[in-house]
Amino acid sequence: MPDCNVTVIGAGPYGLSAAAYLQAAGIQTRIFGEPMAFWEKRMPAGMFLRSNWGASHIADPHRKLTLDAYRLSTANHMSAPIPVERFVDYGRWYQRRVAPNVEKRNVTRVNADTCGFKVALADGEVFTSRRVIVATGIGAFSWRPAEFDEVPQALASHSSEHRDLGRFKGRRVIVVGGGQSALESAALLHERGAAVEVIVRQTELNWVGLHSWVHHLGLISSLLYSTRDVGPAGISRLVSMPRLFRVLPRKVQDKTAYRAIRPAGSAWLRPRLTEVPITFGRKVVSATATGSQLRLALDDGTDRLVDHALLATGFRVDTSRYEFLPEQLQTKLRTVNGYPILTRGLESSIPGLHFLGKPAAWSLGR
Ligand SMILES: Cc1cc2nc3c(=O)[nH]c(=O)nc-3n(C[C@H](O)[C@H](O)[C@H](O)COP(=O)(O)OP(=O)(O)OC[C@H]3O[C@@H](n4cnc5c(N)ncnc54)[C@H](O)[C@@H]3O)c2cc1C
């Protein structure tokens, strides 16, 4: 018999939600991780969630732990866009209710074992578990363009490496990227006294929520948009029906998914960016450290001398970057473009090993 039935690695929204469903099903579970740590430590202070209210509830089987329930239980008013600090507080409120015994310890190894898996922790404990759920988020997948390979982190860092953008006050910063993270970081840097410029590959920015009136047309709106409100009219409905979505031809799924969550900024950011220069349709082709500064060459032949480059270049799922999964398991894990191929119950090609969150986005399970 294994020591434990299910081990959940991760105490962010997905891991906590898994714990809530397992608890409701009466399944003995151990959950590991720092509750809401990624949101608290690796997103900039002062940020707002891009996802709207309906898409930001952490799911629970009895619908009792929604954002609305959290808001009711606290005296402070809160509405969308949701400040990240409030979302962290919501996550911890949720955690205290479903997983008060969350173990703030790091999982360092998951090995195959006759009764499932052998799980090793950083403090030396080793135990066996019938199933393991990986819900460690996107932190391991931050993506840095190759042009910055030789540049030290002090001169070019990924956007997820900063909590306090105020440290760039009085400095010249280039933000690379054209999605929410790039645009919101640029707004926050500008507001905190940095001289900021955004370099965007696209020739124009995409915005979400520019025409809020389309959500107030009664039946027509509810036919076109789901309450999650991810993606434009029609696509919003389609991506909210995973059973239908996943039977579509792969090419249609990929195209639709990209259209739903392509790089874009929230409309409420626009007025905060009016004084921020944005260079469109350009790519950084080389980055060279010159003393305490960084020289960036763009593909139009111009260059920039800056104090720092903030790479808001997103995340690329790649299961080979899970340090706790040894070679022996990695070779058995079937993947597509770095994403694990999942079946029913979000189970991977390794029986008993499940993945939640962004890594599950390619196959959505079957
Ligand atoms: C700037 C930014 C803004 C975003 N805005 C939104 C938004 O508005 N709405 C939205 O839905 N999503 C947003 N996202 C995406 C969102 O952050 C992730 O999709 C989300 O964090 C996923 O939650 P999670 O539970 O999968 O992982 P996380 O919240 O990242 O939690 C990971 C957990 O795993 C634990 N962990 C990791 N490794 C180990 C280990 N080896 N052992 C034990 N524990 C471990 C951590 O301690 C943590 O508890 C944003 C992301 C960024 C970067």
At 163-177, the pLDDT tens digits run 999 999 999 999 999
DSSP letter, residue 214: G
What atom of ligand 1 comes closest to residue 50's alpha carbon?
Answer: 8
Q: CB count, 10 Å around CB of 17?
A: 23
Mutate to test the pocket of ligand 1, among 38, 175, 185 (most ligand atoms within 8 A of CB): 38
pLDDT at 224 > cutoff 80: yes
> What confidence tens digit (pLDDT) does each residue in 36-74 have?
999 999 999 999 999 999 999 999 999 999 999 999 999
Q: Is the CB of 265 under 6 A from ligand 1?
A: no
pLDDT, residue 80, reads 87
Query: What pLDDT, on the 0 to 100 scale, is given for residue 364?
Result: 79
Q: Which long-range contacts (CB under 8 A, 24 or more apart) does 278-283 make?
A: 278/186, 278/197, 278/198, 278/200, 278/205, 279/197, 279/198, 279/199, 279/200, 280/200, 280/202, 280/203, 280/204, 280/205, 281/200, 281/201, 281/202, 281/203, 282/199, 282/200, 282/201, 283/199, 283/201
Task: Name the percent of the chain lying above pLDDT 70.
Answer: 99
> Closest ligand 1 atom to the C-alpha of 160?
53
The pLDDT tens digits of the residues spanning 195-211 come to: 999 999 999 999 998 88
Q: Does residue 160 line the site of ligand 1, with CB under 6 A?
A: yes
What angle separates helix 13-24 from helix 84-98, to the nearest 10 degrees? 20
Give distance in angstroms: CA of 167 to centre of ligand 1: 24
Q: Give the pLDDT confidence score for residue 366 in this predicted structure.
A: 59
- Prediction pTM value: 0.95
Asked whether residue 78 carries a pLDDT value surpassing 90, the answer given is no
Question: Whose Cα sits closest to atom 50 in ligand 1?
Answer: 49
138 CA to centre of ligand 1 in angstroms: 6
- Which atom of ligand 1 lies closest to the CA of 17? 25
Ligand 1: atom nearest CA of 16 is 25
> DSSP alpha helices (H): ranges in 36-109?
37-41, 67-73, 84-98
Q: Is the preceding omega at residue 277 within 30 degrees of 0, hence cis?
A: no
Please say if the pLDDT value at position 228 is more than 90.
no
CA 39 to centroid of ligand 1, rounded, Å = 6
